[in-house]
Structure formats: C-alpha cells, structure tokens
With several copies, the nearest count.
Chain A
Amino acid sequence: MSFNYDQYIRGGKLPHIWCPGCTYGIVFKSLLRAVDFLKIQKDDIALVSGIGCASRLPGYVDWNTLHTTHGRALPFATGLKLSCPDKKVMVISGDGDATAIGGNHFIHACRRNIDITTIVLNNFIYGMTGGQHSPTTPVGHLASTMPYGNVDPNFNIPDLAKGAGASWVGRGTAYHVPALDKLIIEAIQHKGMSVLEIINACPTTYGRRNKFKSATDQLLWMKDNSLPITAFDKLPPEKTAGKFPTGVLFKKEAPEYCDTYYAMVERVRKPKEGRA
C-alpha cells in the first residue's frame, strides 16, 4: 500500500507551508500517485502555477516547475506546451487564480483545447491573502471582504469550462481520495484541455469564519454534500438540492491545439505539389 513520495519531493522542502488542516497536501499526494501510475518521467513533465496557496505546490515537486504571476499560469504553460508539444504540461491553480484574475486565460485555454491538464483547487476563498471572497465563495457566507455575508453569485467552474469549450471536465474532492487518484489519471490521459476542479478545505481563512469547527468537518461536509455524477443524474431534483456532482462531468472529442497548429505547419512547409 505504501507509496514512495520521497522520489518526487524535493529534498528538504517538507514540511510544506500550508496551514494545519489545509487539504492541499491531500491533493498533492494524490497528484504524485497519479503521475507515478502513468509512468511519466520527471524530465518530461512541467507543472505550472500562478500565485496563491494552491500555486505553491510546484515548489515541492521534483519536475520542471514554474511559479508564475497571479492568474497567468495558463499563458506561460501555453508557451511551454506549444514549444514542446510532446511533453506533458500541467497547471495547478486556486479558485481565485484560475477564475478571478485568471478567468480570461482559463476560458481561452479551454477554447483552444490545448493539451494542458488544469487542476483548480477550489477552497471557496482567497487563502493566501487572508480570506477575501472569491468567485466561488457561497452566497451568504462570510469572508474578510464580505463581513455581512457574501452577495456575489458564483461561478460553477465545470459549467464555465464547458461553456468555453474545454473537452474534458471533472470534479473531485479532497475527501474522496481514491476517486481523486482516478480522476487525475483520467484528466492527464485526456488529450486536449482538461479541467479538474477539486473541492478543498481552507480551515484558516474560510472554515473557521464559517462555523466549521475543523478541517475534518469540512472534509465531512464534502462527503455529505457530494454525489457521483452517475447517481446525481438519476435522482430527482429534491434529492440533489444543495449537493454537487463529482466525477467526469463532461467529455467530448475535439482536435487538440498543438496538433492542429503543427498539421498546418506540415501542410504549408510541404513542397506544393501540383501547383505552380
């Protein structure tokens, strides 16, 4: 059962900076297991992030890692991927990083369907800066900039990704760890832009302010309030009210961006037969 995390973790970097109970560490372990399962070599994978607690993850893992500016991981990753289309490029981001300041890059990467596995760690808050509301903070909940209860409606990240054109969209949670391993594996295997939202707990800036006694309570909330999409789809609306679906939520076949681009390159570079 035991897994050798050490082979992937940069020497001397643990303990990581995340708070006690921050579930990012759970996801981190899942990511390592998934990439290991797929036998992707360390030199052949890059992990790119923006700014935020979530975005600190790449610093710990012994791949090619790039910690960019807030919200901009996807453009940097696009430059990398288009330059090295045969390498694996992943992005890890927070709800704020990916969908607030980074929203435009997010939808455009989805539109292009470029082969970047994008993992959004949604903890419903801007953790790094101390708990301001994000585009996913539930309405009515408290945040340091919503002292009277949040009035801002939310993004549904999978809906947004799908509406923008992503070809693979999924959702997992930090509670459902074995399922999460499988989802990350599938997201990576998918060729094209895959978006995996992972529900996380930030006890420090969100949980405590919103009456979750501990990180464990937040994990149990995930357990009690989610349903696999297969079950979710079968139930009548009364039974699914207030719950969120998990699993592979959307999937389609669509040409991948680098493929299309380099096919064009091939076409125009060929000596033009049958032409003057």
Chain B
Amino acid sequence: MGTLKLLQGNEACAEGALYAGCTFFAGYPITPSTEVAEYLSRRLPLIGGAFIQMEDEIAAMGAVIGASLAGKKSLTATSGPGFSLKQENMGFGMLCEVPCVIVDVMRGGPSTGVPTGPSQSDIMQCKWGTHGDHPVICLTPGYVQEIFSETVRAFNLSERYRTPVIVAFDEIIGHMREKIEIPDKGVLEVENRKRPTCSPAEYKPFDETKGDVPPVADFFSGYRQHITGLNHHSDGFPVNAHPRIHTDEQRLIRKVEGNRKDIIRYETFMLEDAEVAIFAYGVSGRSGKNAVEQARAAGIKAGLFRPLTIWPFPEDEVAALASRVRAIVVPELSLGQIIFEVERCAKGKCRVEGIYRVDGDPITPEQIFDKIKEVK
C-alpha cells in the first residue's frame, strides 16, 4: 500500500518526479507553477539531489540539459511566459536527444495575461513553439493523481525515447488539492535510459545503426563525445547541407510518431455507443465527464474521449471516432487550438464543434451539455 496524501497538483508533479528518480531541478519561479519548485527545494537536498534557481527560464532549461548529459534525471517547471523563453533550448534538447521533463502549468495569456487564471492555450505551442522540425511528446493529466502518474510516465518516456517530454496542465488542476496515493517503490515501473555497452572508442552518440534511439553515454563516464546543436553526423560532429540531415531528422520524428501505440494513452467514458463525443483534456475533461453523465441522464448518447497524451496527437483514434459519431465537441480553455487537430483528423466525417472560454473560469458541464443538445 502506498502513502495517502492531500496534495496540490503541482506538489503531486514534484512527487511524481521524485518517484521517477529525478535528482536535478532547475527553474525560475512563475505563477502558477512555482509550487513544483518550492516542493522540490525542500525534498531534493534531503536525497542529495540538486535544486538550483537559475537567473531565468532560458538558463534553467540549459542547466537541466547539462545535468541530463551528466546522467541525472532532470526537471524544470514553468508557465506561459517562461515556456516561451525555454523554447530555444528545448529545441536543443530535442535535436541532441537529451532526456528531461518540462512542466508547463498553463495560465491565461498571451503575454503576462492573467497569471493566476487557468488556460489550455499553450497546447499548440507545446507542439510548435520552437523553430524547425522537432519531435514532441506532451502529456495532459486531468486529476491530481494523474499528474503524479503522468509525471512518472513522462520521465519514463523521456528516458525510453531519449527526448524532452512536456507535461502540460492548467492552473486549476495545478493549484487544486486532492487526495492521492503515492505507490510504494517498485509498484510503478521506473525506466532508465539505455547506456552504451560498446567500447568508448566505438561509441557514437547518434548512431542510427543502433536503432532509432541510440544509447546515450553520460559525460565523464569515459565515453568522450561531442554534442552540438548544429545538425550532426552519427559521431556527433557537425554536418552541413547533406542527405544525413534529412534522414536524421526523420529519425527524430519517427522516434515519436513511429511509437504512437506506446506513447498515446487516453481514457474513454461511455464512448462505445456514443453519438456525440466530447474530446477534452485537463480540467475540461473533468467537466466533460459530468456533461456525459447529464446527457446520459437526459437520454442522449454522449461519451468522452480524454487524451492523456496530446502529442503525438491520437490521430487514428480521432479519425475512427469521427467515422462513427455525429459530432465531436471540443471544449477548451482557449479560443480554439486543439480543435484544429480534431478537425484535421475528422476529415469532414462528422461535425466538429468547439466550446471556448478564456474568462478565468472553467468550462462548466452545463456549457458542454448545452452544446451536446445542440449537435446531437
């Protein structure tokens, strides 16, 4: 039996990181994510880990990558403005295949916006925020318990695929307290990056012949290597205008898109016979569940698709859904973002209707229920 605690979403995130073996945190305070840092500033020293508050989010992201290259499981947490600042170095992490986890607790935006208000309006930025092509894994828990477990999963995926993983949730779940159970050690799987078994002389940090996820050697472990944010050959050294760039960037994308089965996770609720589906994550997913209950009570066959992995996007699942429901309703705390993806995958096979709200309050079950009635 694990330990029961009443925790904020942000605290659960920190607990998840610790469970997953995180020993390094670098960050810069920002509402509404700061509690992740505060919690870890108390806990990490107690296990001999490192906590450092950097001069800004750019530096925090850099330090996290540096620590990961030294072999540490590393975390940073931020919100909109800081997430924007991290983008350049996140791209470095993606290109150089550095495992690490980035938490974005979404607040009202753009710009400073409403620092204490909830939103889900960074979700497209999670995918497209940095320049260039890049692989993205992004998880979207909706309950405090899920923040814990998805943070553990984020670390596992980041180690498994050797890539930064984003965990994104809204201010409401980040700040709200619920009971959670922290499983005993060993109950949840904890994964570590594959390290090289070859001799240092043979080792190449980006050796695609070793599979789409080449083993990664820690700095100072005897496997001397060169890591650069320039496009590079398998030995890590720069490459200029060369077919290698194309094939290597394809590999990076394939690592993620080619492993959708393993990465994509979602919850469905009364979806089997549904005629109207709700596609919603985070706090909107919670409202969605209540809306389904209301609809069913009123005799309407509604169901919920609640993605826990938003990137890679559950394309096949949404496509399949679109072929069998009359409409998909997409409630978002934004003016319409993830609905673009739903529309794309629905390919015109069913109606797709958004519900948007950015006034600082969550979308209510009634708002969704009304829309269900409208489209049913």
A79 at interface, CB cutoff 8 A: yes
Evaluate whether A100 and B55 lie within 8 angstroms (CB atoms) in the complex, with A79-B74, A80-B66, A145-B38 already known.
Answer: yes
Report the tally of A-B residue pairs with Cβ distances under 8 A.
Answer: 176
A206 to chain B, nearest CB (A): 14
B89 at interface, CB cutoff 8 A: yes
Do the beta carbons of B34 and A130 come within 8 Å of each other? yes
Do the beta carbons of A132 and B53 come within 8 Å of each other? yes
A65 proximity list for chain B (CB < 8 A): 224-227
Find B92's partner among A69, A79, A268 (CB 8 Å cutoff): A69
Find B230's partner among A10, A67, A77, A132 (CB 8 Å cutoff): A67
A192 at interface, CB cutoff 8 A: no
Find A76's partner among B63, B222, B225 (CB 8 Å cutoff): B63
Q: How many angstroms from the CA of A101 to the CA of B60 in the assembled complex?
A: 11
**In the complex, what residue of chain A is closest to B27 when comparing beta carbons?**
A145
B31 at interface, CB cutoff 8 A: yes
A171 at interface, CB cutoff 8 A: no
Q: How many angstroms from the CA of A145 to the CA of B38 in the assembled complex?
A: 5
B237 at interface, CB cutoff 8 A: yes
Do the beta carbons of A129 and B29 come within 8 Å of each other? yes
Q: How many angstroms from the CA of A105 to the CA of B66 in the assembled complex?
A: 14
Do the beta carbons of A79 and B24 come within 8 Å of each other? yes
The number of chain B residues with a CB under 8 A from chain A is: 57
Do the beta carbons of B51 and A145 come within 8 Å of each other? yes
Q: How many angstroms from the CA of A51 to the CA of B111 in the assembled complex?
A: 11
Do the beta carbons of B45 and A264 come within 8 Å of each other? yes
Evaluate whether A69 and B31 lie within 8 angstroms (CB atoms) in the complex, with A79-B64, A265-B48 already known.
Answer: no
Q: How many angstroms from the CA of A1 to the CA of B57 in the assembled complex?
A: 47
B300 at interface, CB cutoff 8 A: no
Residue of B42, B52, B88 ringed by the most chain A CB atoms within 10 A: B52
Do the beta carbons of A108 and B54 come within 8 Å of each other? yes
The number of chain A residues with a CB under 8 A from chain B is: 57
Q: How many angstroms from the CA of A82 to the CA of B51 in the assembled complex?
A: 9
Do the beta carbons of A42 and B81 come within 8 Å of each other? no
B263 at interface, CB cutoff 8 A: no
Contacts of A234-276 to chain B: CB distance below 8 A: 261, 264-265, 268-269
Find A69's partner among B70, B112, B219 (CB 8 Å cutoff): B112
Do the beta carbons of A108 and B55 come within 8 Å of each other? yes
A100 proximity list for chain B (CB < 8 A): 28, 55-56
Find A51's partner among B34, B57, B112, B220 (CB 8 Å cutoff): B112
A264 proximity list for chain B (CB < 8 A): 45
B319 at interface, CB cutoff 8 A: no
Do the beta carbons of A75 and B229 come within 8 Å of each other? no
Q: How many angstroms from the CA of A167 to the CA of B283 in the assembled complex?
A: 50
A231 to chain B, nearest CB (A): 34
A36 at interface, CB cutoff 8 A: no
B271 at interface, CB cutoff 8 A: no
A104 proximity list for chain B (CB < 8 A): 55-56, 59
Contacts of B161-177 to chain A: CB distance below 8 A: none
Find A64's partner among B50, B53, B220 (CB 8 Å cutoff): B220
Find A71's partner among B54, B56, B92 (CB 8 Å cutoff): B56
Do the beta carbons of A79 and B26 come within 8 Å of each other? yes
B51 proximity list for chain A (CB < 8 A): 145
A62 at interface, CB cutoff 8 A: yes
Find A67's partner among B24, B26, B229 (CB 8 Å cutoff): B229
A18 at interface, CB cutoff 8 A: no
A13 proximity list for chain B (CB < 8 A): 237
Q: How many angstroms from the CA of A82 to the CA of B25 in the assembled complex?
A: 11
Evaluate whether A145 and B41 lie within 8 angstroms (CB atoms) in the complex, with A79-B74, A104-B55 already known.
Answer: yes
Q: How many angstroms from the CA of A63 to the CA of B88 in the assembled complex?
A: 26
B62 at interface, CB cutoff 8 A: yes
A6 at interface, CB cutoff 8 A: no
A147 at interface, CB cutoff 8 A: yes
A144 at interface, CB cutoff 8 A: yes
Do the beta carbons of A46 and B30 come within 8 Å of each other? no
B306 at interface, CB cutoff 8 A: no
B125 at interface, CB cutoff 8 A: no
Evaluate whether A64 and B63 lie within 8 angstroms (CB atoms) in the complex, with A59-B238, A152-B53 already known.
Answer: no
Nearest 10 pairs of A and B residues by beta carbon: A79-B66, A75-B62, A79-B63, A83-B70, A75-B59, A67-B228, A79-B67, A76-B66, A101-B56, A108-B55
17 A-B interface contacts by CB (under 8 A): A13-B237, A43-B222, A44-B220, A51-B229, A67-B112, A68-B229, A69-B81, A69-B112, A70-B112, A79-B74, A81-B66, A84-B220, A101-B57, A105-B59, A128-B31, A129-B34, A132-B29
